[in-house]
Chain A
Amino acid sequence: MSFIVAENLVKQYGNGDATVSAISDISFQIESGEFIGIMGESGAGKSTLLSIMGAMNAPTSGNFMVDEIDVYSLRQEQRADFRREFLGFVFQSFHLLSYLTVAENVMLPLTTVKASRKQKRAMAEEALNNVGLNDKANRLPSRISGGEKERVAIARAIVNEPPVLLADEPTGNLDNKTKHKIMELLQKLNTRGVTIVMVTHSLQCAKYAQRILYVSDGLLVENG
């Protein structure tokens, strides 16, 4: 069985005549260690698909499995634990907490993990080292550049070494030079075995992916 399995995913919003289908009957499989790009026009259903894969948005019907776990059969609190243990999120607008330093932002997913302060600090240092930001550990997000913020967001996503990294337009707000640096970083993580699913509009970024899922009008129109 594949590492990630989506079967006939349907997500509808609203009721009756006002029902809108965000995605319709989407099925795919992703192997462990793959780098997948999700592409499509605006409003095609990419972000909805990513949020379902992020265990944050229950599908109207269909199954979503990760490592043979039926994610949406889990209770809400179990899904929170699942997100902590299996998933790392990289958001388009970074979503760093302005009142925490870079290191503290990176340590955030470790807050509820049973580990000593020293261990958590070491894990954050390692994650920051992986994204090349060790020297900015004590700065506030407001004192670093956009590219650095994205790298902090990636460090936060990988600090607890999740097997899957979900990235929503991770280079959407960055210049070309920084964009490539970030993509190289994601590729480096992928070579270390992290499964990456990335939503992107950029063909340049999509080239880094091993496979593209193309979504149009809520349907998976291309898988390859």
Chain B
Amino acid sequence: MTLKEIALKNLIRRKGKVAFILAGLVIGVCTVVTIISLMEAMTSDINKKLEKYGANILIVPKSEKLTLTYGGISLGGVAFEMEEIREKDLVRIKSIKNAANIAAVGPLALGVINVDKHKVLLAGADFKAIKILKPWWKVKGNLPIENEVILGDETARIINLRTGSFIEINGQKLRVSGVLQPTGSQDDQLIFSRLETAQSLLGKEGRISMAEVAALCTACPITEMVKQISDALPSAKVMAIQQVVKSRMETLSQFKKLSYGVSAIVILVGSLVVLVTMMGSVRERTKEIGIFRAIGFRKSHVVRIIFIETAIVSGFAGIMGYLLGLAATKIAVRFFTESQSVSIPINFELAGWAIVMAVLVGLVSSAYPALIAARLDPNEALRAL
């Protein structure tokens, strides 16, 4: 006979009370697991959506002049009077603290060119980065290789060129490898070529006009990423496209706060259920505890029996709560996210925390009843029968 065996047999005997404690804790753990899993799923969903938004940080040359453009209407050129950024400096971005959170860095070399009496903006880009930075791009034809360009939809219409046509830029003949489908952005009015091609055509070897960065960091604010890049590139101006990230993250943050509040209340209710049930159980077991004490059990032995009982029930409640929480999340996620493909994998860390939390809540809540039980005077307990 061991204390553990006594505790186990007692649990088997008191199925009703055990079920009550179990229900209280399972509901608590299940709610917390559901909320946390849902938060993770929603954050992951938002991150995926943010990836689709493309670049969220812009790196431009520092300037003391104000930009005179609004909504695509330029009221005065200032952009090309600025000192440009050296392409090789962009490498420094890879050395920032949160470098792992950078999905892509897309340098752009910009310059005005003349095509058939039309002044057009030529943009040299890294098309590997473009795929991440502008995932919405659809090109009718192919992305350009050496001595090729693609045209924005508006540009193709205005200068009347299509895939397979040739254009001459600064005396160099280039083939149109594709036409960009309408994007509704300024890209529709540009000509794109490979970065090296544009740099050569514009006489800007080794220099870029700006860079777009796609950075994802759920654990750190975007402003932190901006600061890190600014530190790495002191001669450039780094800006976050705040409205994209901030509003969504703020909504998520407020939802998180509400969720944690709800979790705390649910845990409190669960622990009260354990406390009340264990108090009742101790009162019912006065005789038993009196016998234990009379035959030589120390107070600590009585406390251990109660703690073992609680630990077994709450540990089991932790496992059940986690599994039910996982199932509940799979159902709830359909209502909280637009994406139907959000996966809710088994999170062993969360499962571990759920069990530890359940056991802790159980033990803390049964500490007072255990103390009351240990303080029972064996003589009083036996005489009261």
Contact = CB atoms under 8 A, between A and B. Distances in A.
Size range of the chain B interface in the assembly? 20 to 34
Contacts of A56: 293-294, 377-379, 382
B295 A84 contact: yes
A57 B378 CA distance: 9
Contacts of B377: 56
B275 to A, nearest CB: 24
A97 B383 CA distance: 17
B379 A99 contact: no
B297 A99 contact: no
Interface string A59-101: 0000000000000000011001111110101010101011110
A100 B9 CA distance: 7
Nearest to A51: B379
Interface string B5-20: 1100110110000000
Contacts of B293: 56, 80
Nearest to A91: B382
A197 B68 CA distance: 107
A89 B294 contact: yes
A54 B1 contact: no
26 contacts: A51-B379, A54-B379, A56-B378, A56-B379, A56-B382, A80-B293, A80-B297, A81-B298, A82-B296, A83-B296, A84-B295, A87-B296, A98-B13, A99-B10, A99-B13, A100-B1, A100-B9, A107-B1, A108-B1, A108-B295, A109-B295, A111-B3, A111-B297, A112-B297, A117-B2, A120-B1
B287 interface: yes
B165 to A, nearest CB: 92
Contacts of A46: none
What's the interface size class on A, roughly?
Answer: 20 to 34
Given A91-B382, A99-B9, A111-B3, A54 B297 contact: no
Q: Tell me the dominant secondary structure on chain B's binding face.
A: helix
B296 A109 contact: yes
A80 B296 contact: yes
Contacts of A54: 294, 379
A104 B8 CA distance: 13
A85 B297 CA distance: 11
Interface in A105-156: 107-112, 117, 120, 156
Interface in B1-49: 1-3, 5-6, 9-10, 12-13
Contacts of A100: 1, 6, 9
Contacts of A110: 1
A120 B383 CA distance: 29
Contacts of A89: 294-295
Contacts of A85: 296
Interface in B333-353: none
Contacts of A77: 298-300
B3 to A, nearest CB: 6
Interface string B192-226: 00000000000000000000000000000000000
Contact of B385 (A82, A93, A98, A109): A93
A85 B296 CA distance: 8
Contacts of B296: 80-85, 87, 109, 112
B168 interface: no
Name which of A81, A91, A112, A156 has the most chain B CB atoms within 10 A of its CB: A112
A76 B1 contact: no
A100 to B, nearest CB: 6
Contacts of A108: 1, 291-292, 295
B12 to A, nearest CB: 7
Contacts of B379: 51, 54, 56-57
B288 interface: yes
A89 B10 CA distance: 23
Contacts of B3: 111-112
Given A89-B294, A108-B295, 16 more contacts: A47-B383, A54-B379, A56-B377, A77-B299, A80-B297, A82-B296, A83-B295, A84-B295, A93-B385, A98-B13, A100-B6, A100-B9, A108-B1, A111-B1, A111-B297, A112-B298
Contacts of B157: none
Given A57-B379, A84-B296, A89-B295, A95 B1 contact: no
Most buried by A among B2, B3, B291, B296: B296
Interface in B274-322: 287-288, 290-301
Contacts of B292: 108
Interface string B364-385: 0000000000000111001101
